[in-house]
Amino acid sequence: MSNVICHICQINLALKQYDGVLLDEDGNKPCLECVIEDAESNEEEDEQ
């Protein structure tokens, strides 16, 4: 199961070991860039 593409951006290789909440209904995993982007957007929402 190598070379899995990120289900969010469809560009980068997805993380192979990820226990976060960014899994879609099929259990697909995001890449590191999408994880970071999601974390940053969550921080902005928390500040408001």
What pLDDT sits at residue 26? 76
pLDDT in tens, 11-45: 988 876 655 555 677 777 788 898 889 888 888 88
What pLDDT sits at residue 19? 59
Give the 3-state DSSP-derived string for the chain, with helices as H, strands as E and coil as C. CCCCECCCCCCCECCCCCCCCCCCCCCCCCCHHHHHHHHHHHHHHHHC
What pLDDT sits at residue 21? 59
What pLDDT sits at residue 42? 85
What pLDDT sits at residue 1? 44
Q: In this structure, what token pair is assigned to residue 32?
A: 């590191």
